[in-house]
Structure 1
């Protein structure tokens, strides 16, 4: 498959692994890249920028293919040392960076000056237009179905993808709601030039999370995720479990709940512990609606080859309709 995405990123297939915190580690990123997609390391998964540098080098021992680094910049009580993180990225010779959140224009300028291809994730067309104006090379448009932060406008991919494609000149990657070749074919038909997947890659053999988490995704139905922290305008889509139910119960009480009340439940370290220990009842686990489309745990190579085959078959079937 060749288009602007594969050319810009130097990959065989326009399939990108989301840089998920606690999950985007070297073994997963390398497996995706070796299979022809683009693997992504999560910068904020690493305790320090120096640890990120070591993880980049570890990834290079596992693949000689391109991979990227995700840096998400969201409001937080104790901001990560972003300047040092970008120092490490530039000094390590990373050629692809996925950004998300409120990224200062100066960061984009610095990355472009270093010859880095910037993929910026957005949840609305207006944010995508602003990112394009600031010089990003690719926009990853994140629909309402996605895991993590879907924004506050609730526009699903079937509308958001073509709206973004119509408005932008840079290539668009469809993110959220995609788990297989059918979703990939749909995204390409809507004008996207690639797809980004997070939840689906968690349920692969190489994903560095406990087997219980993977099995929970296999068992989950499409209606078994929840949007928490909506009352704080910081919506997050997570797997249905006792913790997410407790968060929602607190939010729905008269007067709602301040973040300080919710913090012990949504604490990132607690979520990390759930991913690593397999106790899926004791932390929030980010998951998209595509959990309802996951029914096995393949290798990344098997998943990507299967996706490409299915995508081509669905596109061929649709094309055949026009010849009837």
Structure 2
């Protein structure tokens, strides 16, 4: 049996999560204020595709990613595959009608951004969701594959971050729009109660406390990560570690066995092992099994935190096996 007083020490930094959540609230408040002065509401279709440079990256990509996923197309004028991919991405952006934005970055004019993203060849396509960068694919991929990737991006943005996109109106330019709602809160008491429940081993109580916050504020970063942590601890509390690990070793193709072992790995502080196990499960499986392994891996990314270098490395590994 798993020890009663399980801990996530060394796996997740809740202080960093709280800081990230506060930063997101400030960004949402800034957008609300912009809306009151005429800067918010529905956007014109032409606004879904934007050219971005280093000076405007924080405003046009990072801040916007708190309300809608931003797909980044790294391109150059001399790049022949870019001339095939970029028009396709622009067309799909219009078709998805506000579920994501497309930011086009000329690598020749923005070398610093190219270096920051570790771009080694173009075209290269990334996504930024709630400030988190995710590599999507490199090269002029087939349209069907790009659609599948975009569908997954939209799904993850909605399910894990509460981002449902932005409203698009062909006649929106110049029209007045309703003010955006001010983020609800604060939730210090509920969040503190959830942390105390975690420390006491009351994972069900912690889950409910975090859900209470998210029912009123679906985008609350600290509550979403705390919920992922509480759910993880709840899943492993009744596991027999020896049995789980034996099944995982004997059944490498059994995705459920690998998922259970990955949960134990993470709770035990073996972050790289947990990530590597699930990346391998994604690589060797297909269809529903592959999606189950991928989604659990994304959940574990949230438990550890987006800024952790182990998450960054695992995201790159996941992108390699997916594309």
Which structure is higher in strand share?
A: 1
TM-score range, shorter chain: under 0.3
Q: Which has more radius of gyration?
A: 2
Which structure is higher in helix share?
A: 2
Structure with bigger RCO (C-alpha 8 Å, 6+ apart)? 2
TM-score (norm 2): 0.22
TM-score (norm 1): 0.22
